Protein backbone atom coordinates (compact mmCIF):
# COMPACT_ATOMS: atom_id res chain seq x y z
CA UNK A 1 0.00 0.00 0.00
CA UNK A 2 1.27 3.48 -0.83
CA UNK A 3 2.25 5.49 2.25
CA UNK A 4 -0.10 8.32 3.16
CA UNK A 5 0.64 11.73 4.60
CA UNK A 6 2.23 15.04 3.78
CA UNK A 7 5.81 16.21 3.59
CA UNK A 8 6.58 19.87 4.28
CA UNK A 9 9.71 21.23 2.64
CA UNK A 10 10.61 24.59 4.23
CA UNK A 11 13.09 25.53 1.50
CA UNK A 12 16.65 26.79 1.73
CA UNK A 13 16.07 30.49 2.27
CA UNK A 14 18.42 31.46 -0.58
CA UNK A 15 18.37 35.19 -1.34
CA UNK A 16 18.03 36.25 -5.00
CA UNK A 17 17.81 39.65 -6.72
CA UNK A 18 15.60 39.68 -9.81
CA UNK A 19 14.17 42.03 -12.41
CA UNK A 20 10.78 42.29 -14.07
CA UNK A 21 10.88 40.83 -17.58
CA UNK A 22 7.24 41.42 -18.56
CA UNK A 23 3.86 41.99 -16.90
CA UNK A 24 0.20 41.95 -17.92
CA UNK A 25 -3.29 41.66 -16.46
CA UNK A 26 -4.63 38.11 -16.52
CA UNK A 27 -8.02 39.36 -15.27
CA UNK A 28 -9.21 42.80 -14.10
CA UNK A 29 -7.89 42.24 -10.59
CA UNK A 30 -4.85 40.02 -11.12
CA UNK A 31 -1.53 40.93 -12.74
CA UNK A 32 1.00 38.32 -13.85
CA UNK A 33 4.64 39.32 -13.50
CA UNK A 34 7.51 37.32 -14.98
CA UNK A 35 10.84 37.78 -13.20
CA UNK A 36 14.31 36.88 -14.38
CA UNK A 37 17.97 37.50 -13.63
CA UNK A 38 21.30 35.68 -13.31
CA UNK A 39 20.64 34.99 -9.63
CA UNK A 40 17.80 32.60 -10.60
CA UNK A 41 20.48 30.02 -11.45
CA UNK A 42 20.00 27.03 -9.15
CA UNK A 43 16.49 28.02 -8.07
CA UNK A 44 14.77 24.91 -6.70
CA UNK A 45 11.24 24.38 -8.01
CA UNK A 46 9.49 21.08 -7.36
CA UNK A 47 6.59 21.05 -9.82
CA UNK A 48 4.74 18.23 -8.02
CA UNK A 49 4.61 20.19 -4.78
CA UNK A 50 1.42 21.98 -3.77
CA UNK A 51 1.57 25.76 -3.61
CA UNK A 52 5.35 26.35 -3.78
CA UNK A 53 5.99 29.76 -2.29
CA UNK A 54 8.65 32.41 -1.81
CA UNK A 55 9.08 35.44 0.42
CA UNK A 56 9.19 38.53 -1.78
CA UNK A 57 11.15 41.57 -0.64
CA UNK A 58 9.02 44.26 -2.23
CA UNK A 59 10.60 47.67 -2.87
CA UNK A 60 8.69 50.94 -2.71
CA UNK A 61 6.41 51.46 -5.71
CA UNK A 62 8.08 53.09 -8.71
CA UNK A 63 11.52 52.75 -7.05
CA UNK A 64 14.07 52.49 -9.86
CA UNK A 65 17.43 51.05 -8.83
CA UNK A 66 18.78 48.07 -10.80
CA UNK A 67 21.21 47.19 -7.99
CA UNK A 68 18.58 47.13 -5.23
CA UNK A 69 18.87 45.94 -2.56
CA UNK A 70 22.44 46.57 -1.43
CA UNK A 71 23.93 45.27 1.80
CA UNK A 72 26.41 46.64 4.30
CA UNK A 73 29.23 44.69 5.94
CA UNK A 74 26.86 43.24 8.55
CA UNK A 75 24.44 41.89 5.94
CA UNK A 76 21.78 44.52 6.63
CA UNK A 77 20.04 46.23 3.72
CA UNK A 78 21.49 49.66 3.02
CA UNK A 79 19.47 52.74 2.21
CA UNK A 80 17.05 55.20 3.71
CA UNK A 81 14.01 53.97 5.60
CA UNK A 82 11.74 54.74 2.66
CA UNK A 83 13.85 52.41 0.49
CA UNK A 84 13.47 49.40 2.78
CA UNK A 85 11.47 46.43 1.48
CA UNK A 86 8.36 44.89 2.93
CA UNK A 87 8.19 41.10 3.02
CA UNK A 88 5.19 39.26 1.56
CA UNK A 89 4.49 35.59 0.80
CA UNK A 90 3.58 34.63 -2.77
CA UNK A 91 2.99 31.44 -4.74
CA UNK A 92 5.35 30.54 -7.56
CA UNK A 93 2.82 30.26 -10.38
CA UNK A 94 5.39 28.80 -12.77
CA UNK A 95 9.13 28.46 -13.30
CA UNK A 96 10.81 27.88 -16.66
CA UNK A 97 14.26 26.55 -15.84
CA UNK A 98 15.47 26.67 -19.45
CA UNK A 99 14.53 30.34 -19.88
CA UNK A 100 15.20 31.24 -16.24
CA UNK A 101 11.79 32.86 -15.86
CA UNK A 102 9.79 32.83 -12.63
CA UNK A 103 6.10 33.77 -12.75
CA UNK A 104 4.07 35.23 -9.89
CA UNK A 105 0.42 36.34 -9.96
CA UNK A 106 -0.49 39.39 -7.86
CA UNK A 107 -4.04 40.09 -6.71
CA UNK A 108 -4.59 43.83 -7.06
CA UNK A 109 -6.17 45.70 -4.14
CA UNK A 110 -5.61 49.18 -5.50
CA UNK A 111 -2.86 51.08 -3.70
CA UNK A 112 -3.82 49.91 -0.21
CA UNK A 113 -1.02 47.36 0.16
CA UNK A 114 2.68 47.69 -0.72
CA UNK A 115 2.82 44.54 -2.87
CA UNK A 116 -0.33 45.45 -4.80
CA UNK A 117 0.93 49.00 -5.21
CA UNK A 118 4.25 47.73 -6.60
CA UNK A 119 2.60 45.18 -8.90
CA UNK A 120 0.27 47.76 -10.47
CA UNK A 121 3.21 49.95 -11.50
CA UNK A 122 5.86 47.29 -12.19
CA UNK A 123 7.46 47.43 -15.62
CA UNK A 124 10.38 45.68 -17.34
CA UNK A 125 13.67 46.34 -15.59
CA UNK A 126 12.20 47.02 -12.15
CA UNK A 127 13.97 45.28 -9.27
CA UNK A 128 12.59 42.93 -6.63
CA UNK A 129 14.16 40.27 -4.44
CA UNK A 130 13.07 36.98 -2.92
CA UNK A 131 13.95 34.42 -0.33
CA UNK A 132 13.55 30.90 -1.68
CA UNK A 133 11.11 28.95 0.46
CA UNK A 134 9.25 25.65 0.16
CA UNK A 135 6.16 23.61 -0.61
CA UNK A 136 3.96 20.78 0.68
CA UNK A 137 3.77 17.35 -0.91
CA UNK A 138 0.90 14.99 -0.02
CA UNK A 139 1.29 11.35 -1.02
CA UNK A 140 -1.09 8.39 -1.14
CA UNK A 141 -4.16 10.67 -1.33
CA UNK A 142 -7.52 9.31 -2.56
CA UNK A 143 -9.41 12.63 -2.59
CA UNK A 144 -8.27 16.24 -2.65
CA UNK A 145 -10.33 19.20 -1.50
CA UNK A 146 -9.06 22.72 -2.27
CA UNK A 147 -10.86 25.76 -0.84
CA UNK A 148 -9.72 29.33 -1.36
CA UNK A 149 -10.52 32.90 -2.28
CA UNK A 150 -8.98 35.18 -4.91
CA UNK A 151 -5.68 35.39 -3.03
CA UNK A 152 -5.37 31.60 -3.07
CA UNK A 153 -6.25 31.24 -6.76
CA UNK A 154 -2.60 31.11 -7.93
CA UNK A 155 -1.78 28.36 -5.42
CA UNK A 156 -4.86 26.31 -6.28
CA UNK A 157 -4.26 26.74 -10.02
CA UNK A 158 -0.63 25.64 -9.69
CA UNK A 159 -1.62 22.70 -7.47
CA UNK A 160 -4.31 21.46 -9.88
CA UNK A 161 -1.79 21.57 -12.72
CA UNK A 162 0.73 19.57 -10.69
CA UNK A 163 -1.60 16.75 -9.58
CA UNK A 164 -1.42 13.32 -11.23
CA UNK A 165 -3.94 12.86 -14.05
CA UNK A 166 -5.90 10.25 -12.06
CA UNK A 167 -6.48 12.56 -9.06
CA UNK A 168 -10.01 12.90 -7.68
CA UNK A 169 -11.71 15.56 -5.63
CA UNK A 170 -12.98 19.13 -5.81
CA UNK A 171 -11.71 22.70 -5.87
CA UNK A 172 -13.89 25.54 -4.59
CA UNK A 173 -12.78 29.08 -5.42
CA UNK A 174 -14.82 32.10 -4.37
CA UNK A 175 -14.52 35.52 -5.96
CA UNK A 176 -16.19 38.90 -5.66
CA UNK A 177 -16.25 39.40 -9.43
CA UNK A 178 -17.00 36.78 -12.12
CA UNK A 179 -14.61 38.64 -14.44
CA UNK A 180 -11.73 37.29 -12.33
CA UNK A 181 -12.46 33.65 -13.23
CA UNK A 182 -9.64 31.99 -15.15
CA UNK A 183 -9.44 28.88 -17.33
CA UNK A 184 -7.65 26.27 -15.21
CA UNK A 185 -6.10 22.93 -16.07
CA UNK A 186 -8.03 20.43 -13.93
CA UNK A 187 -7.56 16.62 -13.83
CA UNK A 188 -10.59 14.77 -15.29
CA UNK A 189 -11.53 13.34 -11.89
CA UNK A 190 -11.51 16.75 -10.19
CA UNK A 191 -14.44 19.18 -10.25
CA UNK A 192 -14.08 22.95 -10.10
CA UNK A 193 -16.73 25.13 -8.43
CA UNK A 194 -16.71 28.93 -8.61
CA UNK A 195 -18.63 30.85 -5.94
CA UNK A 196 -19.31 34.44 -7.01
CA UNK A 197 -20.59 36.84 -4.36
CA UNK A 198 -19.83 40.48 -3.58
CA UNK A 199 -20.22 39.67 0.11
CA UNK A 200 -17.68 37.62 2.09
CA UNK A 201 -18.24 33.90 1.61
CA UNK A 202 -18.74 32.09 4.91
CA UNK A 203 -18.38 28.57 6.27
CA UNK A 204 -21.97 27.53 5.47
CA UNK A 205 -21.68 28.54 1.79
CA UNK A 206 -18.44 26.59 1.41
CA UNK A 207 -19.94 23.46 2.98
CA UNK A 208 -23.00 23.74 0.73
CA UNK A 209 -20.76 23.93 -2.35
CA UNK A 210 -19.17 20.56 -1.64
CA UNK A 211 -20.39 17.90 -4.05
CA UNK A 212 -19.73 15.23 -1.43
CA UNK A 213 -19.57 15.68 2.35
CA UNK A 214 -16.16 15.69 3.95
CA UNK A 215 -15.64 12.19 5.31
CA UNK A 216 -12.42 10.67 6.58
CA UNK A 217 -13.66 7.21 7.50
CA UNK A 218 -13.63 5.60 4.06
CA UNK A 219 -10.92 7.43 2.14
CA UNK A 220 -7.57 9.12 2.44
CA UNK A 221 -8.66 12.73 2.23
CA UNK A 222 -6.40 15.77 1.97
CA UNK A 223 -7.85 19.23 2.67
CA UNK A 224 -6.05 22.39 1.50
CA UNK A 225 -7.38 25.83 2.44
CA UNK A 226 -6.08 29.34 1.71
CA UNK A 227 -8.49 31.97 3.00
CA UNK A 228 -9.16 34.95 5.25
CA UNK A 229 -8.23 34.06 8.82
CA UNK A 230 -11.82 33.89 10.09
CA UNK A 231 -12.95 31.33 7.52
CA UNK A 232 -9.68 29.42 7.81
CA UNK A 233 -10.21 29.11 11.58
CA UNK A 234 -13.75 27.80 11.06
CA UNK A 235 -12.57 25.20 8.56
CA UNK A 236 -9.69 24.18 10.82
CA UNK A 237 -12.06 23.72 13.77
CA UNK A 238 -14.38 21.63 11.57
CA UNK A 239 -11.48 19.51 10.33
CA UNK A 240 -10.22 18.85 13.85
CA UNK A 241 -13.35 18.68 15.97
CA UNK A 242 -16.05 17.38 13.61
CA UNK A 243 -13.99 15.24 11.24
CA UNK A 244 -11.11 14.28 13.49
CA UNK A 245 -8.81 14.97 10.55
CA UNK A 246 -5.18 14.25 11.50
CA UNK A 247 -2.59 16.98 11.06
CA UNK A 248 -1.02 15.20 8.08
CA UNK A 249 -4.34 15.32 6.20
CA UNK A 250 -4.74 19.08 5.98
CA UNK A 251 -2.93 22.30 5.23
CA UNK A 252 -5.09 25.25 6.30
CA UNK A 253 -3.50 28.66 5.82
CA UNK A 254 -4.51 32.14 6.92
CA UNK A 255 -3.74 33.93 3.66
CA UNK A 256 -4.83 37.26 5.07
CA UNK A 257 -6.68 38.80 8.00
CA UNK A 258 -9.11 41.67 7.79
CA UNK A 259 -7.42 44.86 9.01
CA UNK A 260 -3.95 43.32 9.48
CA UNK A 261 -0.77 43.34 7.40
CA UNK A 262 1.16 40.11 6.85
CA UNK A 263 3.44 39.49 9.80
CA UNK A 264 0.84 40.71 12.29
CA UNK A 265 -0.96 37.33 12.40
CA UNK A 266 -0.13 33.63 12.25
CA UNK A 267 -0.26 32.20 8.73
CA UNK A 268 -0.20 28.46 9.38
CA UNK A 269 -2.92 26.20 10.72
In this structure, is residue 262 part of a structural domain?
no
Q: Please tell me whether residues 153 and 88 are part of one structural domain.
A: no
Please write the tens of the pLDDT for every residue from 94-107: 999 999 999 999 99
In this structure, is residue 268 part of a structural domain?
no
Q: Please tell me whether residues 63 and 102 are part of one structural domain.
A: yes
In this structure, is residue 117 part of a structural domain?
yes
Mean pLDDT of 36-58: 87
The lowest-confidence range among 20-34, 126-140, 156-170, 182-196 is 126-140
Q: Count of domains in the chain?
A: 2
Mean pLDDT of 208-235: 80
- The C-alpha atoms of residue 250 and residue 266 are separated, in whole angstroms, by 17
Please write the tens of the pLDDT for every residue from 138-176: 778 989 999 999 999 999 999 999 999 999 999 999 999
Contact 130, 59 (CB under 8 A): no
Q: Which of 132, 151, 185 is the last residue of a domain?
A: 132
In this structure, is residue 17 part of a structural domain?
yes
Please write the tens of the pLDDT for every residue from 247-258: 888 888 887 666
Task: Give the CATH number for residue 166.
Answer: 3.40.50.80
In three-state form (DSSP H/G/I as H, E/B as E, the rest C), the secondary structure along the chain is CCCCEEEEECCCCCEEEEEEEEEEEEECCEEEEEEECHHHCCCCCCCCCECCEEEEEECCCCCCCCCCCCECCCCCECCCHHHCCEEEEEECCEEECCCCEEEEEEECECECCHHHHHHHHCCCCCEEEEEECCEEEEECCCEEEEEECHHHHHHHHHHHHHCCCCCEEEEEEEECCHHHCCCCCCCCEEEEEEEECCCCCCHHHHHHHCCCCCCCCCCCEEEEEEEEHHHHHHHHHHHHHHCCCCHHHEEEEEEEECCECCCCCCCCC
Q: Report residue 72's pLDDT band, with 50, 70 and 90 as the boundaries.
A: confident
Highest mean pLDDT of the ranges 197-206, 233-242, 256-265: 233-242
Q: Report the length, in residues, of the chain.
A: 269
Arithmetic mean of pLDDT over the chain: 84
| Structural domain for 195, as ranges | 141-256
Q: Please tell me whether residues 71 and 24 are part of one structural domain.
A: yes
Please say if the pLDDT value at position 218 is more than 60. no
Mean pLDDT of 213-241: 82
Please say if the pLDDT value at position 266 is more than 60. no
Q: Please tell me whether residues 27 and 145 are part of one structural domain.
A: no
**pTM to 2 decimal places:** 0.86
Contact 40, 14 (CB under 8 A): no
Please say if the pLDDT value at position 268 is more than 70. no
Q: Please tell me whether residues 9 and 115 are part of one structural domain.
A: yes
- The C-alpha atoms of residue 91 and residue 65 are separated, in whole angstroms, by 25
Q: Please tell me whether residues 47 and 74 are part of one structural domain.
A: yes
Q: Please tell me whether residues 245 and 161 are part of one structural domain.
A: yes
Mean pLDDT of 109-119: 84
Q: Please tell me whether residues 101 and 151 are part of one structural domain.
A: no
Q: What pLDDT shows up at residue 250?
A: 85
Q: What pLDDT shows up at residue 2?
A: 58
Q: What pLDDT shows up at residue 265?
A: 41
Q: What are phi and psi of 209, to 5 degrees?
A: -75, -15
Q: What are phi and psi of 160, to 5 degrees?
A: -60, -40
In this structure, is residue 188 part of a structural domain?
yes
Amino acid sequence: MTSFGITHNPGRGTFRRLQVLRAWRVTPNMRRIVLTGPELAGFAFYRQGLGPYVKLLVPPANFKDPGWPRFDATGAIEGATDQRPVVRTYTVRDFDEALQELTIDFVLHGDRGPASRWAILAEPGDSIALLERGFSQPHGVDRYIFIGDHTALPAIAQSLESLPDDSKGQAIIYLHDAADKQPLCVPPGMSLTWLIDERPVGFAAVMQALLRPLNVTDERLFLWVGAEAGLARSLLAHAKNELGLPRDQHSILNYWRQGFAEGAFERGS
